[in-house]
Structure 1
């Protein structure tokens, strides 16, 4: 089980996912570039990578739920 420090909240607007603030550089808001297939896989627990468009840091998503992205590294 992942620790809450490995989670980050996101918002869904239409088919787009947004972070209110980047966990690395604190840029706000951040549109995530992730494909629909990758989102579906993340909900099933399939690991996927995203690169933050603001600072080019990488996040490995271990799991997603309706409110949070759960990463393999600490985000908080």
Structure 2
């Protein structure tokens, strides 16, 4: 079972990936340096270091689905 506290919701808007709130500094509508074209590679097992541009908080994305990023850290 996937631990829900290690997930964070995201949205894709016009080819960019956004999170509604940063899990570290609570900034709103953060554009994250992740492209929708990278999603299939992450689903297939490739890990991706994600650095939030608002506060430089870091997580490693382990998996994605249509709504959530699964990370290596507890975010909730």
TM-score > 0.5 by shorter chain? yes
1:60 is aligned to: 60
Unaligned runs of 5+ in 1: none
Distance 2:26 2:40 in 1: 27
Task: Give the corresponding residue for 2:47.
Answer: 47
User: Where does structure 2 lack aligned partners over 5 or more consecutive residues?
Assistant: none
Residues 1-76 of structure 1 correspond to what in structure 2 (within 5 A)? 1-76=1-76
Tell me by how many angstroms 1:7 deviates. 0.3
Output the aligned Cα RMSD.
Answer: 1.4
Note the C-alpha offset of 1:37.
Answer: 4.9
State how far apart, in whole Å, the 2-side matches of 1:50 and 1:68 are. Answer: 14
Q: TM-score, normalised by structure 1?
A: 0.90
Residues 52 and 69 (structure 1), Cα distance of their counterparts in 2 relative to 1, 3 Å cut: same
- Give the TM-score normalised by the residue count of structure 2: 0.90
The answer to whether the 8 Å contact 2:16/2:36 transfers is no
CA distance in 2, matches of 1:30, 1:66: 18
